[in-house]
Amino acid sequence: MTQPATLLVLFGATGDLATRMLWPSLYGLEKDGLLPAGLRILGQGRGEQSDADFRRLVAEALERRVPAEDRDPARVQALLERVHYHAARIDDTAEMSALAERICALRTGDVLYHLSTAPRFYAPIASALSSAGLSGPGTRIMIEKPIGHDLPSSVEINEGVGRAFAEERIYRTDHYLGKEGVQNLLALRFGNALFEPLWNARHIAQVQITVAETVGVEGRGDYYDHSGAMRDMVQNHLLQLLCLFAMEPPAQFEPSSVRNEKTKVLRSLRPITASDAATHSVAGQYTAGAIGGVAVPGYREELGRDSQTETFVALRSHIDNWRWSGVPFYLRTGKRLPRRSSEIYVQFHKVPHSIFGAQTKIEPNALVIQLQPEERISLTLMSKMPGLDRQGLKLSEIALDMDFHDTFAHLRKRIAYERLYLDAIEGNGTLFVRRDETELAWQWIDGIFAAWREAGTTPKSYPAGTWGPTASIVLPERHGHSWRE
Ligand code: BG6
């Protein structure tokens, strides 16, 4: 029986992710009384400092990152009282043994390790924990993307971590799965009888998954330039959205059922080959432009060197199974696009026959599941425009809107990591990614890179503040579709 963790060991506790997201998330849980009563948190970093100094650092991070109206000094203090710090360099065996001793001293029950470090440290950390006898039952490990750079490197990381921890105790994070809007997609599909009968090729003409960002690479150039939009976003976030959208209904909302269904989708993804690279994929890289009226530099200027890394990807993908046969899934993501927006757009088939005659235009129904910046679900329907219409009915599209921002305005918007931490602390892996999912996703992505190499595909430029290279607009248009903008 999995017990809630009584110790959270955060590796990389002074890093960027920890400061921006993890400490504020832990505070959010503390504030709402959701952290187990006796939970202690041990931060690992490289620099020597006392527990007291580290607590000050955490307090500063909370001051910067948590809105003043959400900051309750008593709750901040309660969180800080849980916090400890231990300096250890991961490649130093003696220091890692000393850290292990500290873990043993603080441990009173189950332990959750969270590795917010460079992925090259995952296997060494797991192995050090294993040598100290700290990776057996009653422990679990949460690791961040990127799990590798391609299939072989992801296998290497998975095997390294897997030698120390059993698969069901490895929690691979994709922070998109912690987003309310993403879970709401499951609620929409499986909490309503209305949509599921329509969720297939008989009724759906095309699906678009867009994750658009206005930001550039923001000081992460060294990481990003080795990654690019495909590895940074498509391999994980976009494919996870695709899986949740397209999977068969799992029997239960529990780890194995959900993950089994997701892997079936990944296995059914049609490979993109060199011969269809040009018609099924577009890579882009932004040049200088303007976003919201503000001039921004191009990718290479931001990076300070030449580069062939893609900051934009658009794909036409297919899921070759009965449910989705023939339905194109357009995936698109990029940096420095005109606005921040993550959404899934579903276009249904047109009515088979119009009873209103050729002069009455009937648009296909559409469902938009917007995840960011605000959560909203909108269903467009055709409706009669008021009037006597002596020349035939005039129809226009109206939207049935569910605006979660307004409806649930009284509820605090949570950071995705709050949900993920709570689940990992409690030992629920449903919203985490299993090894085979990561590897199947890499296999598909590696295939696209191979196709690009063979076809000589390189990123086409697009000015910052536009929706990617012109080729991306053409991608769906060849098939009579266009991007929703
Ligand atoms: C991260 C990527 O995984 O997701 C970043 O590494 C990206 O490049 C970020 O900006 C987007 O996340 P969100 O939650 O802001 O949509």
- Per-residue confidence in pLDDT tens, the chain, 485 aa: 689 999 999 999 999 999 999 999 999 999 999 999 999 999 999 999 999 999 999 999 999 999 999 999 999 999 999 999 999 999 999 999 999 999 999 999 999 999 999 999 999 999 999 999 999 999 999 999 999 999 999 999 999 999 999 999 999 999 999 999 999 999 999 999 999 999 999 999 999 999 999 999 988 888 999 999 999 999 999 999 999 999 999 999 999 999 999 999 999 999 999 999 999 999 999 999 999 999 999 999 999 999 999 999 999 999 999 999 999 999 999 999 999 999 999 999 999 999 998 888 999 999 999 999 999 999 999 999 888 877 788 899 999 998 877 777 777 788 999 999 999 999 999 999 999 999 999 999 999 999 999 999 999 999 999 999 999 999 999 989 999 98
Q: What is the number of helices (H) and of strands (E) in the chain?
A: 17, 17
Q: Is 479 a catalytic residue?
A: no
Ligand 1, atom 5, lies closest to the CA of: 232
**Ligand 1 pocket mutation pick from 233, 235, 417, 419 by most atoms within 8 angstroms of CB:** 233
Catalytic residue among 175, 237, 280, 349: 237
* CATH number listed for the domain at residues 7-173: 3.40.50.720
Nearest to 315 by CA among 269, 283, 339: 283
For 103, other C-beta atoms within 10 Å of its C-beta total 20
Ligand 1, atom 15, lies closest to the CA of: 213
Strand duo 294-296 + 289-291: pairing: antiparallel
Ligand 1-lining residues (CB < 6 angstroms): 213, 232, 342, 372
Cβ neighbours for 459, distance < 8 A, ≥ 6 positions apart: 283, 284, 285, 308, 309, 310, 311, 312, 469
| One-letter identity of residue 213 | E
Give residue 335 CA to ligand 1 midpoint distance, Å.
Answer: 10
N- to C-terminal Cα separation, the chain: 48
Burial status of residue 243 (CB atoms within 10 A of its CB: 0-12, 13-18, 19 or more):
buried
> In the chain, what are the domain boundaries?
7-173, 177-249+260-419+436-477
Q: Which residue in this structure is represented by tokens 């041990």?
A: 42
Name 94's bridge partners.
none
* Reported CATH class of domain 177-249+260-419+436-477: alpha beta
**Ligand 1 pocket mutation pick from 232, 234, 311, 417 by most atoms within 8 angstroms of CB:** 232
Strand duo 139-143 + 170-172: pairing: parallel
Nearest atom within ligand 1 for CA of residue 342: 16
Nearest to 471 by CA among 323, 280, 308: 280
Give residue 102 CA to ligand 1 midpoint distance, Å.
Answer: 33
Nearest to 417 by CA among 10, 1, 2: 10
Token reading at 179 = 């987003």
Give residue 7 CA to ligand 1 midpoint distance, Å.
Answer: 28
